[in-house]
Structure 1
């Protein structure tokens, strides 16, 4: 729902209040004939509705914005809408000045303004082609609210989904039944549980439609902006050009926009890529290309969306070997997306089932797959793909190791660490192993020289330099989130690698990193102008 632009439906909004109010007006007309009395009664019930859904700041804001729309609609004075909106903004900021810097407040104001200003225009245009009023409103309201909110949404999220407006139009018809049935069921629940459950049962198919639309449209690529402020400037410039009737400027902006999207899609990962470190933020996800849409995947990052986006862009449909180095969330959180619509062969896991919660949820998702606990000294072949995998850690029995500052040294030091060799390159990946485990690996006799190093523990300062000297990689990759709270990566360790002539690439600076021998490196880029499609 976040990816498609429907997550706003999970919060109590002005739309919910407006739907409840409209239902009450319709129902009360059979009992209360006087418009003013009916209006007063509706406001009283809406006041109680606030307490039903909890009087949080967002709910109070939604209630005030709804009052604005109701005043404009039911007093029959269209010019009253904007002054009422201005009064509501003033009132809310006087009551709580911090609302002025709340993104939710900005979006609520813009959505209300869109409904007041743009929705009637769209509805009037649609009236020429659509005779049914509720259909016209079902299109005009989400479109107008989305258009007004779009610049702020992109500014906050850094991405633009091209299906947000169509998705909101498709689900618009079911919002009213869900809201009204939910409201009535809440009224009945203290008196008759059976009636309340029946009403919920009736609402369930409508809710299922939202789930269906979300799942269907989540596969559509989105446009990502490294600096969403650039998009906002382009949007405002295009808007001014349209208002000033300067089609040349608008066309130039569109050409730049489309050209950049095509350019970024063609440039990365490049033909013949062998290893890709996906940009998954503060986490790990390493892809080893086996050809023909097959890959070995080492860890899956913290979020399903990011790893799914990366694998789709790489065209990976089959994963003969999935290695989950250990069970920290930044290494296993995205596993659900990896398993979706992809064939997974064997899954390797650590011999330490900690943290317990993450271990339990991950194993539940791996039910039915071939899961194997691997230990130091084991060697495996993927003959169909010309790949060898040497397990250099963990040992079958782990002795107590020093606990370093922070959480999870035990889990870190149980990380599955492997050397992967193909006929073109070799690579070491060690999860989050810390100096004690690194020293044990260095002294084990299993370590060999490699071409590529996936730096352990996001480039943490806790590294065992003799292991680096044994590996002697040409290129080191650090998978790390921008401005993370852990201080990763360590500048001192980066200096140590550079002194040894190792090229260092990091995802917080370069985005996704693609490697191909002998010395081809491509990145998705995090320059201010970069726009990505995927």
Structure 2
């Protein structure tokens, strides 16, 4: 037995090494490696292998990412045609990419560059011209495109949330999915529903085989019908890794059905995973493939026993099936998800149990709508309308779960976090088999819930409820966060190093960044870019039109390229909207040269509106840019001002008055060498009745929309860090800082925006404490009466 195990492991390792070497061999050939290293401009022929998708938007159009296989190329400067079969990623700006289908052959002119990730891609192609089509795509891709388009057309008359969700459930098309719905699904641990995988294929195959049984078809006929359905399903949703795994597993299962071997499920899973990895070793690096295989393994190993255990306790069969399936899949995937994201979804299991009954009817009805759409658009719309009702339930479950306190808890990231959670789950499963241990475990869970939930509901913790803007404590630099939806935010600048901005985003529970904007290329604004990407999906990156000279832009482009993104310039007048957030670029109107600092005076100035709160984000705008915006009549007025250039003394005298904010936030590092912030500037701002907060003294700073006015919350600096010297503060502020520095802890209670006490707490994420929410104004919030008053401490 031991010898068989050793031989099996050695055989698997040998096969893996051989296939990996075979896939990476083309990249080592000098005929291909030299042109890539030299960034050569070439004429190339490609075969598109996946749907092109937009990765950035700007006034200059969208950038499209195109997965493809390069079959040949020749240098534009002349030379022989080189034959190749290499996986590449192309980037192009031409709008015709929108209509390109998988399987289409193309001729393009592009510049070859080395890949940034070890994912099997041989080269990155920067496509400079419109693609020229060679022939037509395969007929089955044309049919699939028509069905996908028909489903989208059938959903157009539906409400935005269910209408955008339905195509995601059926074929994985999330192009119209509302950002808030996406954020809710992420927070609730339900994103797998829109990433088409084995569960979707299982629903479709189950329906087809049930219909075949109802028609009294034999095992071989049912297997043939199931095989045809599997092939059609893969073509419709595109052959993504999890879909391929599910299709191959389903094919082996159907073969077992035809051969009267129904118990070959686990060997079938092992065989399908092995065959796919032999065909494409890069699949082992894709999270979706790993989670899909683990979820299926959990269903096969755990679900039957747990279902039978529930049935023995007189749980109805249908409920027992749903609970067992959802729990088994979640337990199998939880360690990998925790290690990858640094979070544990505490409510993901009950959310998926509640969602499970709606998935099958939504998927089957949506697929039926897609199939009949070429024949009868009216019937397709009717079926989509019916499918929208279970989709509404899914949206409601996700929204309710995402809004619950402690829906997501922080967890150690990386291999350690994954192994730790796996050990805890294994121990819990083992103990669950003993009655006494099971009772003790149940009592412990109840005690934790009963003891922690009221504290979480009353105290709030960090981040405060209804926050709209946070200035992160990233040291001497800017790292600003604008809320879009739960778990989703736009980030402006990333600070001087990755750890600080990553920690701030983790404390806020941000897992998705649809837009990352760098106001300019200085290191204290861009060097932390890798921290924004750590465990998060970034949708697009905007940069200043003025390229700095310090290497910051190269750093941005390097990290962006490693994640398949290309930065786009942000011009004056550019608009962006997502969820509750709207952003407008105010300047600079035209490039400025010959100023004291051209880099600072060409930084992107943004005005953001989150709900009813307006925020002016000024980067390091110098006095020349400030004056030009003020004189040109730009809409500068805002409730919150991010003070330009970390509170430098170089300011346009009339700028703050033109903005007329209620809150001024200074993003600045402790004991910096630049004398930031300037005491005279802070004195003038405070004298105008404007509340001033500083990240060096207050830590992370949040602005809260209470519904009745603005409030602010300060998380406090980490333990052991001294506040700036009192000499750098105006006298009144210095006295308050002196009182604060003598406290050993943050105040335990304080007035909340609603008038109730809000408990602060230490701990949570290591360092700092959660200061209470402080309303603006004395008796009445300033926003409520629109009057100016002296701010409280």
Say yes or no: TM over 0.5: yes
Write the distance in 2 (CA, Å) between the matches of 1:303 and 1:101: 30
Q: 1:284 aligns with which of 464, 467, 470?
A: 470
Equivalent residues of 2:471, 2:665 under 8 A apart: no
* TM-fit CA distance, 1:200: 0.8
Write the distance in 1 (CA, Å) between the matches of 2:447 and 2:602: 45
Equivalent residues of 1:185, 1:200 under 8 A apart: yes
* TM-fit CA distance, 1:75: 5.9
Partner SS, residue 411 of structure 1? strand
Q: 2:402 aligns with which of 180, 203, 218?
A: 218
* TM-fit CA distance, 1:51: 0.9
Match of 1:509 in 2: none
Match of 1:434 in 2: 645
Q: 1:411 aligns with which of 580, 586, 606?
A: 606
Equivalent residues of 1:285, 1:307 under 8 A apart: no
Equivalent residues of 2:646, 2:666 under 8 A apart: no
Partner SS, residue 301 of structure 1? strand
Partner SS, residue 200 of structure 1? helix
> Alpha carbon RMSD of aligned pairs, Å?
5.5
* TM-fit CA distance, 1:208: 0.8
**Alignment pair present for 1:198 and 2:419:** no
Match of 1:476 in 2: 697
* TM-fit CA distance, 1:477: 4.3
Partner SS, residue 284 of structure 1? strand
Equivalent residues of 1:69, 1:81 under 8 A apart: yes
Partner SS, residue 697 of structure 2? strand
Match of 2:71 in 1: none
**Alignment pair present for 1:139 and 2:323:** yes
Q: 1:456 aligns with which of 663, 667, 675?
A: 667
Match of 2:755 in 1: none
Give CA deviations for 1:161-218 in whole Å, capped at 9, x if unaligned.
3322222122212211111112222111111111111111111111111111122222
Give CA deviations for 1:430-463 in whole Å, capped at 9, x if unaligned.
51622797511689899xxxxx99543789x996
Match of 2:219 in 1: 35
The 5 A counterparts of 1:289-368 are 301-305=482-486, 356-358=574-576
Give CA deviations for 1:34-55 in whole Å, capped at 9, x if unaligned.
3112202221221022111122
Q: 1:12 aligns with which of 196, 215, 218?
A: 196
Equivalent residues of 1:111, 1:144 under 8 A apart: yes
* TM-fit CA distance, 1:116: 0.8
Partner SS, residue 208 of structure 1? helix
Give the number of the structure with larger relative contact order, counting CA–CA contacts within 8 Å between residues 6 or more apart: 1
Equivalent residues of 2:591, 2:602 under 8 A apart: no
* TM-fit CA distance, 1:110: 1.1
Match of 2:412 in 1: 227
* TM-fit CA distance, 1:90: 0.5
* TM-fit CA distance, 1:304: 2.9
Which TM-score applies when normalising by structure 1?
0.59
Residues 496, 119 of structure 1: alpha-carbon distance in 2 compared, 3 angstrom cutoff: closer
Q: 2:423 aligns with which of 221, 236, 253?
A: 236
Which TM-score applies when normalising by structure 2?
0.42
Residues 43, 251 of structure 1: alpha-carbon distance in 2 compared, 3 angstrom cutoff: same
Residues 476, 502 of structure 1: alpha-carbon distance in 2 compared, 3 angstrom cutoff: farther
**Alignment pair present for 1:150 and 2:368:** no
Q: 2:281 aligns with which of 82, 92, 97?
A: 97
Equivalent residues of 1:355, 1:411 under 8 A apart: no
Write the distance in 2 (CA, Å) between the matches of 1:307 and 1:57: 26
**Alignment pair present for 1:112 and 2:296:** yes
Q: 1:174 aligns with which of 314, 333, 358?
A: 358
Ranges in structure 2 where 5+ consecutive residues have no aligned partner = 1-184, 473-479, 490-503, 509-516, 520-524, 526-570, 608-614, 620-639, 658-662, 684-693, 702-720, 730-738, 747-760, 770-793
